[in-house]
Amino acid sequence: MEQVCLRRIHNENSQDIESYMAHDGYAALRKALTEMTPSAVHDEVRAANMGGRGGAGFPTAMKWNFLVGARGEPKYVLCNFDESEPGTFSNRVIGEEDPHLLVEGCLLAAYATGCSIIFIYIRGEYFLAYERVKHAIEQAYERGLIGKNILGTDFSVELYLRRGAGAYIVGEETAIMNSLEGKRGYPRARPPFPANEGLFGKPTLINNVETLSNLSDIVLNGGERWSNLGVNEGSGLNVYCVSGHVERPGVYELPMGTTARELIYEHAGGVWQGRTLKAWKPGGASSAILPADMIDLVLDFKPVQAAGTILGTAGVIVMDDHSCVVDAAIRDATFFEEESCGFCFPCRDGTRVLRMLVERVRHGVAAPDTIDLIEHASTDMMGASFCGLGQFAPWPVVSTVRNFRQEYDAHIIEKVCPAGVCPMDGTEPNEHVDRRTLQEMLVAQKGGVLA
């Protein structure tokens, strides 16, 4: 099966420039700089019809358009290598095993959009990827592939690698810019959009590692060919990460539009230990959970959205029939509570309230109106949170309620965990949450005072 991002990862010394160049490495850069204008590179990306791989699927060529028309110098490329979404590790594999692919992609994006400074911002916990990308940058500088007059042309660009401290929020495109500027990693209001006023107030293109890593193939072999690699109306290839209860968890680069059934059963070896599928998620922890009977869903941005969830990072998480959805919800709720940056309180308080409510369900002490409270808090968080973290954080909880209502009823009304996973010990969590706690949160959110 054809591969682009993972094509070289099993080669000997795949992270080294010699190995990379022996397998077409930097041929796309040479072609772009010596045979193509920046707008010709842009045309190929347009023909590829690629949706960004950072989560939202925003059309890459359209995002590049904004940069081309933006005023201000210098212009920056910012490569988002934060990758903190649980269940997602495709960027890490590229950074560790084929860092030159990413470096070349960054250079192509800079050339096409007229940027002269590139930052790669990498997640703090990615130690090996950091070392390998750093080494790749040094090697590319030594070979004259980064710096002044690259390959003897007029094109010059500098590339800097910066390390985060390991916070989920700085994957958000405006928070990452604040972090890079030495400020606290809080999100910024938009507008102004990064393409007009981004890093240090200058036009900035923000793309994901996988998005950028597809560019060398698109430039070398043509955007249309890349687009045609997809199936079921999908464009190109996609690196799906599979984790959870499967025989062969890992990264699988497959056509965009592959069904979940094919990914899970044919490539990832099916549900482990001969068990049956209970539920799965298409786009990492923050995506809504789906029941087993939606296994034939086509994995592409639009069909997944039509099914009430998101493809996001294509981090597919599989749960077998021994799992409990309430137990799954508490893990995600705890993660998002810990990762909320606290900048806006619908997210800061909402993630806490949701975690506390699910905690009570797990212990068999939830009040009968708990499901209403979860729905209420989730709806408010989705509508009122400042950035995507708070807007998506309720989904792991509220989608388990909506798609597995009978399990919540068993925990709340019958006081049993059907899977036998939750403690159900009747202990009251130390923290208190009731309708008044929630009302206080909602009233404060509207700027009012609770009578």
- What is each CA distance from 62 to 6, 37, 42, 215, 432, in whole angstroms? 26, 18, 10, 15, 48
Tell me the residue number closest to ligand FMN, measured at CB.
171
15, 84, 90, 385: which one binds ligand FMN (CB under 6 A): 84
- Residue closer to ligand FMN by CB (options 55, 230) is 55
Binder of ligand FMN out of 55, 203, 234, 396 (CB under 6 A): 55
Q: Which of 230, 388, 394, 396 binds ligand FMN (CB under 6 A)?
A: 388
Q: Is 96 in the site for ligand FMN (CB under 6 A)?
A: no
3-state secondary structure of 164: coil
Beta partners for residue 291, in sequence order: 279
CB of 211 to ligand FMN, least distance (A): 3
Asked if 351 touches ligand FMN (CB under 6 A), the answer is: no
Establish if 83 lies at the interface with ligand FMN (CB under 6 A). yes
The least distance separating ligand FMN from the CB of residue 144, rounded to whole angstroms, comes to 27
Select the residue interacting with ligand FMN from 58, 66, 141, 345 (CB under 6 A). Answer: 58
Asked if 332 interacts with ligand FMN (CB under 6 A), we say no
Six-digit token string for 62: 């359209």
Residue pair 105/140 in contact by the 8 Å Cβ criterion: no
| Binding flag, residue 169, ligand FMN (CB under 6 A) | yes
State residue 449 phi and psi, 5-degree precision. -125, 135
61 binds ligand FMN (CB under 6 A): no
Under the binding rule (CB under 6 A), the answer on residue 387 touching ligand FMN is yes
Instruction: Check binding of 196 to ligand FMN (CB under 6 A).
Output: no
CB of 83 to ligand FMN, least distance (A): 5
* 394 forms part of the interface with ligand FMN (CB under 6 A): no
How many residues bind to ligand FMN according to rule CB under 6 A?
23
| CB of residue 197 to ligand FMN, shortest distance in Å | 16
Query: Using CB under 6 A, which of the segments 48-56, 226-234, 260-268, 412-420 binds ligand FMN?
Result: 48-56
Residue 15 engages ligand FMN in binding (rule: CB under 6 A): no
Q: Which of 290, 285, 244 is nearest to 389 (CA)?
A: 285
| Helical packing angle, 99-113 and 60-69, nearest 10° | 50
Is residue 385 within 8 Å of 445, Cβ to Cβ? no
For helices 90-97 and 127-142, angle between their N-to-C axes, nearest 10 degrees: 40
Concatenating the DSSP letter of every residue in 193-227 gives PTTTS-GGGS-EEEEEHHHHHTHHHHHHH-HHHHH
Please report whether residue 390 would count as binding ligand FMN according to CB under 6 A: no
User: Residue 103 burial by CB count (10 A; 0-12/13-18/19+): exposed, middle or buried?
Assistant: buried
Answer for which of 172, 253, 262, 359 binds ligand FMN (CB under 6 A) is: 172
- Least Å from the CB of residue 291 to ligand FMN: 26
Between CA 161 and CA 350, with CA 124 as vertex, the angle to 5 degrees is 125
> Of 187, 166, 191, which is closest to residue 387 (Cα–Cα)?
187
63 binds ligand FMN (CB under 6 A): yes
Closest CA to 410 of 429, 425, 395, 424: 424
Structure tokens at 167: 């916070």
> Cα 420 to the chain's mean position, in Å?
32
* Closest distance to ligand FMN from the beta carbon of 376 (Å): 23
Task: Out of 171, 198, 255, 282, name the contact with ligand FMN by CB under 6 A.
Answer: 171
Q: Could you give the CA distance from residue 355 to residue 267 in angstroms, rounded to a whole number?
A: 34
With respect to ligand FMN, which residue has the nearer C-beta, 374 or 389?
A: 389
Which of 54, 223, 284, 396 touches ligand FMN by CB under 6 A?
A: 54
Nearest residue to 203 via CA among 65, 42, 53: 65
Among 14, 15, 49, 80, binds ligand FMN (CB under 6 A): 80
Q: Cβ contacts of residue 158 below 8 Å, gap of 6+?
A: 116, 117, 118, 146, 147
Task: Choose which of 44, 82, 96, 380 interacts with ligand FMN (CB under 6 A).
Answer: 82
Residue with tokens 């041929």: 27
Q: Which amino acid is at 261?
A: R
Pick the closer one to ligand FMN by CB: 194 or 255. 194
Query: Segment near ligand FMN (CB under 6 A), from 27-35, 81-89, 262-270, 355-363?
Result: 81-89
* Structural tokens at position 280: 């799965």
Out of 208, 258, 259, 385, which residue is the one contacting ligand FMN (CB under 6 A)?
208
Which residues bind to ligand FMN, rule: CB under 6 A? 52-56, 58, 63, 80, 82-84, 168-169, 171-173, 206-208, 211, 387-389
